[in-house]
Amino acid sequence: MTVDIQHASAPPRVAIYNRPKVRAFLYQLALLALALWLGYEFVLNAKANLAAQRITSGFGFLDQTAGFSVNQSLIPYSESDTYGRVFLVGLLNTLLVAGLGIVLATILGFVVGIARLSPNWLVARLAGTYVELIRNLPLLFQILFWYLAVLRALPGPRQSISLFGEVFLNNRGIIVPAPTAGEGAGLVAAAGAVGIIATLALRSWAQRQQARTGEQFPVFWIGCAVIVGLPLAVLAATGFPVGFQKPELRGFNFVGGVRLIPEFVALLIALTTYTAAFIAEVVRAGVLAVPRGQTEAASALGLRRGMTLRLIVVPQALRVIVPPLTNQYLNLTKNSSLAVAVGYPDLFAVFAGTALNQTGQAIEIIAITMAVYLVISLLTSALMNWYNARLRIVER
Amino acid sequence: MTADSQATFIRRALLEPEPPPLAGGDALTRGRARLFGGVFNTVLTVASAVIIAALVWPALKFLLINAVWTGASRVDCLPETVGREVGACWPFIKAKFVQFMYGFYPASEHWRVDVTYALGAALLAPLLIPAVPWKGINAILFFGVFPVVAFFLLVGGVLGLPHVETRVWGGLLVTLVISFTGIIFSLPLGILLALGRRSHLPVIRALCVVFIEFWRGVPLITVLFFATYMLPFFLPDSWRIDALARVLIGVVLFAGAYMAEVVRGGLQAIPRGQFEGAMALGLGYWRTMGFVILPQALRLVIPGIVNSFIALFKDTTLVLIVAIFDLLGQLRAAFADPTWATPVTLFTGFAFAGMIYFLVSFGMSRYALFMERRLNSQQRR
Question: pLDDT tens, position by position, for chain B (381 residues)?
Answer: 444 555 577 777 887 877 766 665 667 776 777 777 777 888 888 888 898 888 888 888 888 887 778 877 777 778 777 777 787 888 888 888 888 888 888 888 888 888 888 888 888 888 888 888 888 888 888 888 888 888 888 887 777 778 877 788 888 889 999 999 998 899 999 999 999 988 888 888 898 988 998 898 889 988 888 888 888 888 877 777 888 888 999 999 999 999 998 998 888 888 889 989 998 998 888 899 989 888 888 888 888 888 889 999 999 999 888 888 888 888 888 888 888 888 888 888 899 999 999 999 999 888 888 887 887 776 654
**Does residue A247 fall inside a structural domain?**
no
**Closest to B299 measured CA to CA, from B265, B272, B332:** B265
Predicted local confidence at residue A88, as pLDDT: 87
Backbone angles phi, psi at B4, to 5 degrees: -65, -45
Q: State whether A141 and B357 contact (CB < 8 Å).
A: yes
**In terms of CA atoms, which chain A residue is nearest residue B37?**
A120
CB atoms A348 and B221 under 8 Å = yes
Residues A273 and A359 in one domain: yes
Positive or negative: CA dihedral A350, A352, A354, A355: positive
Interface membership of A54 toward B (CB under 8 Å): no
Q: Are residues A324 and A383 in the same domain?
A: yes
Between chain A and chain B, the number of residue pairs with CB atoms below 8 A apart is 168
- The CATH fold assigned to B171-334 is MetI-like fold (1.10.3720)
Backbone angles phi, psi at B203, to 5 degrees: -65, -45
The domains of chain B are located at 99-164, 171-334
Q: What is the pLDDT of residues A258-307, one digit of tens each?
A: 788 888 999 999 999 999 999 999 999 888 888 889 989 998 888 887 88
Put simply, whether B162 touches A (Cβ < 8 Å) is no
Say yes or no for a CB contact (<8 Å) between A377 and B41: no
Number of structural domains (chain A) is 3
Neighbouring C-beta atoms of residue B55, cutoff 10 Å: 12
pLDDT at A108 over 90: yes
Residue A222 and residue A278 share a domain: no
User: Looking at the structure, do residues A348 and A269 belong to the same domain, yes or no?
Assistant: yes
- Average pLDDT on A173-178 reads 80
A345 shares a domain with A280: yes
Count the Cβ atoms, other than its own, within 10 Å of residue B309. 23
Does the CB of B42 have a partner CB in chain A at under 8 Å?
no
C-alpha dist (Å) from residue A391 to A70, A287, A386, A387, A388? 43, 16, 9, 6, 5
User: What residues of A are in contact with residue B230 (Cβ under 8 Å)?
Assistant: 362-363, 366-367
A69 domain-assigned: no
A37 and A142, same domain (yes or no): no
In a domain, A248, yes or no: no
Residue A307 pLDDT? 84
Shortest alpha-carbon distance between residue A121 and chain B (Å): 7
Instruction: Tell if the CB–CB gap between B207 and A46 is shorter than 8 Å.
Output: no
**Coil, strand, or helix at residue B16?**
coil
Residues A100 and A200 in one domain: no
Alpha-carbon gap, residue A196 to B377, rounded angstroms: 53
A111 touches chain B (CB under 8 A): no
Q: So what's the pLDDT on residue B378? A: 66
- A132 and B CB contact within 8 Å: yes
pLDDT attached to residue A395: 55
Does residue B326 sit at the A interface (CB-CB below 8 Å)?
Answer: no
Which chain B residue is nearest to residue A31, measuring alpha carbons? B204
- The 10s digit of each residue's pLDDT in A365-375 is 888 888 999 99
Q: How far apart are CA B96 and CA B170, in angstroms?
A: 12
Q: How many other CB atoms are there within 10 angstroms of residue A177's CB atom?
A: 16
Sign of the alpha-carbon torsion through B40, B42, B43, B45: positive
B201 vs A138: CB contact, 8 Å cut-off?
no
Find out whether B31 and A121 touch, Cβ atoms under 8 Å.
yes
Cβ of B362 and A132 within 8 Å?
Answer: yes
pLDDT of residue A139: 92
The confidence band for A85, taking pLDDT boundaries of 50, 70 and 90, is confident
Cβ contacts of A212 on chain B, cutoff 8 Å? 6-9
CA nearest A208 in B: which residue? B3
Task: Identify the residue with better confidence: A154 or B251.
Answer: B251
- Partner-chain contact B34 A370, CB within 8 Å: no
A38 is a domain residue: yes
Calculate how close chain B gets to A241, using CA atoms only, in Å: 38
Predicted pLDDT of residue B217: 87
List CB contacts (< 8 A) between B350 and chain A. Answer: 141, 144-145, 149
Whole-model pTM over 0.90: no
Best residue of B62, B225, B348 to probe chain A, by most A CBs closer than 10 Å:
B225
If asked whether residues A193 and A229 sit together in one domain, one would say: yes
A122-131, A141-150, A247-256, B100-109, range with the lowest pLDDT:
A247-256
Residue of A nearest to B228 (CA): A362
User: Min CA distance, B251 vs chain A (Å)?
Assistant: 15
Does any domain span residue A243? no
Of B316 and A239, the one with more pLDDT: B316
The confidence score (pLDDT) of residue A277 equals 93
Q: Which pLDDT score is estimated for B23? A: 60
**Residue B318 bridge partners (DSSP):** none
Domain boundaries, position A132:
83-156+262-391
Domain shared by A299 and A380, yes or no: yes
Q: Do B230 and A366 touch (CB under 8 A)?
A: yes
Q: What is the tens place of the pLDDT at every residue in A49-59?
A: 777 777 777 77
Contact flag B48-A45 (C-beta cutoff 8 Å): no
- A176 near A260, Cβ under 8 Å? yes
CATH (domain of A316): 1.10.3720.10
Amino acid in the structure at residue A72: Q
Out of A27, A42, A141, the one facing B234 most closely (by C-beta) is A42
Q: Give the pLDDT score at B163.
A: 80
Per the DSSP assignment, residues forming a β-bridge with B326 are B171
Return d(Cα A51, Cα A45) in angstroms, integer. 10
B183 and A CB contact within 8 Å: no
pLDDT of B2 reads 47
Residue A276 and residue A383 share a domain: yes
User: Are residues A208 and A151 part of one domain?
Assistant: no
Run of H or E residues at A174: strand A173-176
How far is it, in rounded angstroms, from Cα B76 to Cα B81? 6
Long-range contacts of B30-34 (CB under 8 A, 24+ apart): B31/A121, B34/A119, B34/A120, B34/A121
% of residues, chain A, pLDDT over 70:
93
Chain B residue at shortest CA distance from A332: B219
- Provide, as residue numbers in chain A, all residues whose Cβ is less than 8 Å from the Cβ of B34: 119-121
Dihedral of CA A368/A370/A375/A380: which sign? positive
Window 237-266 of B: residues touching A by CB (8 A cutoff) are 237
Do B357 and A138 lie within an 8 Å CB cutoff?
Answer: yes
A136 to B3: CB separation less than 8 angstroms, yes or no: no
In this structure, the number of other CB atoms found within 10 A of the CB of residue B210 comes to 11
Task: Kindly report the number of other CB atoms within 10 A of residue A292's CB atom.
Answer: 8
| Residues of chain A with C-beta less than 8 angstroms from the C-beta of B351 | none
Q: How far is CA B119 from the centre of its chain?
A: 21
Distances (CA, A) of B258 to B37, B214, B217, B231: 46, 11, 10, 21
Decide: B368 and B302 in contact? Cβ < 8 Å: yes
